[in-house]
Structure 1
Amino acid sequence: MLRYTLMRLGIFAGCLVVVWGLVYSGIAPRGLGDSNGMWVLLLALVLSAPISFVVLRKERDRASEQIVRKVDRVKAGMEASRSQEDLADDTARAQGQTS
């Protein structure tokens, strides 16, 4: 998961550098008034999203599988805990009825 995040940030940083270069060289439009910094960030974000979607497909699938395994492990632990609580409750009720 960390690897995917770092790769995604790397792609964004690369797009940010490219967009900044294009804007300051005059190839891409500068934005309105004082919004130039926000324009560069927004344009870099818009460009990096589809690139990340295509380039990081395998890494995203790997991260997704890790998350699914963790969720399944937590669910199994919760179910085991629930069954132990049910057993303890049933035992307590049975002892209460026999007394």
Structure 2
Amino acid sequence: MVAAYEEGPSVSSQKYASLRYTALRFGLLIASFAVVWVLCWARVVPLGIGSSNIFWMVLLALVISAPLSWVLLRKQRDAMAEQVAERVDRTKARITANAGQED
């Protein structure tokens, strides 16, 4: 019996890796902001000084979402890095080919 072969990530999953990572990162920021908003509304977290409430909440959400994205979005970040590296390699090859034609 022939075993099914395993492929690497499909082309379609690599095609939108940057967009997927960015969307997930933004979603994580929105979720963190929602948690911070609830904590501020419940007076668990200080509201800030004067009218700095929204700025404080966004800053706190950014601080919370950064380490979470580092851990939770590792696979998506690696796929995006691979996509960027492939683009850089193609661009370098094109530049080298164009430089060879000019000589």
TM superposition score category, shorter chain reference: 0.7 to 0.9
What's 2:57 paired with?
A: 40
Higher relative contact order structure (alpha carbons within 8 Å, sequence separation ≥ 6): 2
Residue 70 (structure 1) aligned with residue 87 (structure 2): yes
The unaligned stretches of length 5 or more in structure 2 are: 1-17
Aligned equivalents of 2:46, 2:81: Cα separation in 1: 38
Residue 29 (structure 1) aligned with residue 46 (structure 2): yes
Pick the structure with more helix per residue.
1
- Normalising by structure 1, report the TM-score: 0.85
Taking every aligned residue pair, what percent have the same amino acid on both sides?
49
Moved over 3 A (4+): none
Aligned equivalents of 2:71, 2:81: Cα separation in 1: 15
> Larger C-alpha radius of gyration, 1 or 2?
1
Q: In structure 2, the residue corresponding to 1:32 is in which secondary structure?
A: coil
Q: In structure 1, the residue corresponding to 2:49 is in which secondary structure?
A: coil
CA RMSD of aligned residues (A): 0.5
The unaligned stretches of length 5 or more in structure 1 are: 87-99
